[in-house]
Amino acid sequence: MNLDQIIEGCRVGDRRSQQQLFSRFYNYAMTIARRYMGSRDLAEEIVSDAFFKAFTKINLYEGSMPFQPWLRRIVINTAIDRLRSNIAEKLALDSLVQTEPYEDSTIIADLTREQIWAMLDNLPPGYRAVFNLAVVDGYTHEEVAETLGITIGASKSNLSRARQYLRRLLRNEFEFFE
């Protein structure tokens, strides 16, 4: 069955179509959720919740846009909702830290996906959410602030602090990284 047929089956509640859609996009959704959640178990919960939302809202999907970005938005929003509910207090706006990006990317280019995920997993949830939205998903600070329910200043501050935190992790991992 092609994707349009699968989606039509999902619209009428066909379990087989839902299973096919889930199987076809599970890895894609898992990759997104994994970046945000910091653990595979939490990411699996997010993927399950996101697919449940997708199946219940499939009638809102218009075929004029590709399905993958529509699902991506659902996965990201599901992860952000979970993070928002788990973050007890937002980080203070005091002292924006200005840092310069590291220009030599040879060390970073040699990192494996697992090493990068491990470093992102070590970020506090608020930093990880802002970093993923701004750096990985290309949101503006205004969009990050609106999505997370924080101020633009908090978005900028959290992104700066996330970058600092990642630099510290790199320095600890690679003694010669300066």
Q: Mean pLDDT highest for which of 39-43, 83-87, 99-103, 110-114?
A: 39-43
pLDDT tens per residue, range 36-63: 887 889 999 999 999 999 999 999 998 8
pLDDT tens per residue, range 58-81: 999 988 889 999 999 999 999 988
Q: Domain-by-domain residue ranges, the chain?
A: 3-86, 106-173
Q: Does 14 score more than 60 pLDDT? A: yes
pTM of structure: 0.64
pLDDT tens per residue, range 117-165: 777 878 888 888 888 899 888 899 999 888 888 889 888 988 998 888 8
Q: What is the rounded CA–CA span in Å between residue 71 and residue 4? A: 14
| CB count in 10 Å sphere of residue 112 | 8
Q: What is the rounded CA–CA span in Å between residue 12 and residue 120? A: 39
Please state which of the four CATH numbers 1.10.10.10, 1.10.1740.10, 2.60.120.330, 3.30.360.10 is assigned to the domain occupying 3-86: 1.10.1740.10
104 or 92: which carries more pLDDT confidence?
A: 104
Yes or no: domain 106-173 corresponds to CATH 1.10.10.10: yes
